[in-house]
Amino acid sequence: MDISQRLLNISELFYSIQGESTYAGLPCVFIRLAGCNLRCRYCDARYTYEEAHATMAMDGILSFVDGYPGALVEITGGEPLLQKDVYPLMEQLVAKGRTVLLETNGSLPIDTIAPEVIVIMDIKTPDSGSAETLAHDNTGYAKERNRKVPGSCEIKFVLTGRNDYIWARDLVNREALYMSCPTLFSPVKGELSPEDLAAWILQDQLAVRLQLQLHTLIWPHLSRGI
């Protein structure tokens, strides 16, 4: 089948402000794919796997992105790597000269993603409800990506409390992640206060970036399309 006619399961397409990662604050086109293989306790995108989704041909998705020529493009989910046609989609976007972010939950190998794509990889913590789902060697692949193309893989920990923080801190130190990968610590809203997380990071002199979900601060009354 012609690549342009391949179908992807889509949850939503929208244009907004990037709320996370070192790209936070920049205008961004979001391609949110449907379906996820995990069930995190704090998930704020349940509609990607609980609600009916649309299917859309690749050329329709690319046309939508073309409407915002200066913007970043993020492919997210759900878990986007569950759909094999996400790979040609990333290739097409890179070929068009777009800066492409791929957000993944870390449970599938990231070693086949093109080096031009910036991977934002979650590492699920003990209290996430999806602990121990990190694909074998994904931290190694993340370091390798950054050795080849600095900044091409960011690692994100979503933290629910002190137990998660200590677990993430110890992993960051053990793997020396901060030396090779931009590392993001993000508190779950309503479970861990940014103030507490900031205090712990400063107390431990941990070289990680505290991130708040910028889009939820700008649009606290909205839960999707932002």
Cβ atoms < 10 Å from Cβ of 87? 15
State the minimum distance, in angstroms, from the CB of residue 225 to ligand SF4: 16
Give the H or E element holding residue 158: strand 153-159
Applying CB under 6 A, what is the total number of residues that bind ligand SF4? 12
Residue 77 in contact with ligand SF4, rule: CB under 6 A: yes
Cβ(10)–Cβ(31) under 8 Å? Answer: yes
| String marking each residue 148-187 x if it binds ligand SF4 according to CB under 6 A | ----------------------------------------
205's torsion region: left (phi>0), alpha (psi -120 to 50) or beta?
Answer: left
Residue 83 in contact with ligand SF4, rule: CB under 6 A: no
Which has the closest alpha carbon to 93: 80, 106, 74?
A: 74
Nearer to ligand SF4, 45 or 90 (CB): 45
Binding range to ligand SF4, per CB under 6 A, among 61-69, 74-82, 144-152, 170-178: 74-82
State the minimum distance, in angstroms, from the CB of residue 4 to ligand SF4: 27
DSSP-derived pairing of the beta strands 183-187 and 153-159 = parallel
Alpha helices in 25-137 (DSSP H): 47-50, 58-66, 86-95
Q: 8, 16, 74, 78: which one contacts ligand SF4 (CB under 6 A)?
A: 78
Nearer to ligand SF4, 204 or 213 (CB): 213
Whole-number Å distance between alpha carbons of 104 and 10: 16
**Distance of alpha carbon 45 from its chain centroid, rounded?**
12
Residue 130 in contact with ligand SF4, rule: CB under 6 A: yes
Using CB under 6 A, list all residues that contact ligand SF4.
Answer: 36, 38-40, 43, 45, 48, 77-79, 105, 130
